[in-house]
Amino acid sequence: MTTDRRLFDGRVHYDYGTIAVHDELELRRSVEAEETFEWTDPHCKQGFIRQSPGQASFCVLPRFDDLDGWGNARLIIDESAYRADPTHERAIQVPLAVSSGRVVVSCDVNYEDDIKVQMPPGPYRLTVVQWLDADAGPTIALRFEALQAPMTSSRIVLADAELRPPEPLLELGEGGMQS
């Protein structure tokens, strides 16, 4: 069972309408191999893409953008299980393997303002939750729930009107990595 622990709570600027989550070693490997997230239309419709067991990227709700794909949001990173809330607009769960003990959250394509947090190695259920908070405005929460065994598939817990996911969801290695 995961004990709730806040790892980050602050404002971030994002570009290209996405936020990416990486195990630090997986990010280094991808950068060295010049691999990028290769978004396809089905990935956009499901709101996420998984590049490797330790990397995933998520679409930010378009209405959060200040300018076509660019925006600012409150970002919360917790070690906790997802708890439904009526204010939540979108919630997506994916498996995430953390092998390095560090997770890197990239909000811009140049990795200039990455957020790095310590995370015990192991399998996680990463839930990315988005909503418009009455006080903080656009809010994105990354909830990392430690698991005994890895999840076998991703899941859309809460879909907003923008999501039109394929059935079944595209998983790891399904048209998402390009070098």
**Contact residues for 135 (Cβ-Cβ < 8 A; gap 6+):** none
Check residue 124 and give its pLDDT: 98
Note the CATH number of domain 5-164: 2.60.34.30
Rounded to an integer, what distance in angstroms lies between the CA atom of residue 60 and that of residue 130?
A: 8
pTM of the model: 0.91
Query: Is-contact 82 141, C-beta < 8 A?
Result: no
Check residue 179 and give its pLDDT: 35
Summarised one tens digit per residue, pLDDT across range 70-110 is: 889 999 999 999 999 999 999 999 999 999 999 999 987 66
Summarised one tens digit per residue, pLDDT across range 17-68 is: 899 999 999 998 888 888 888 889 999 999 999 989 999 999 999 888 776 7
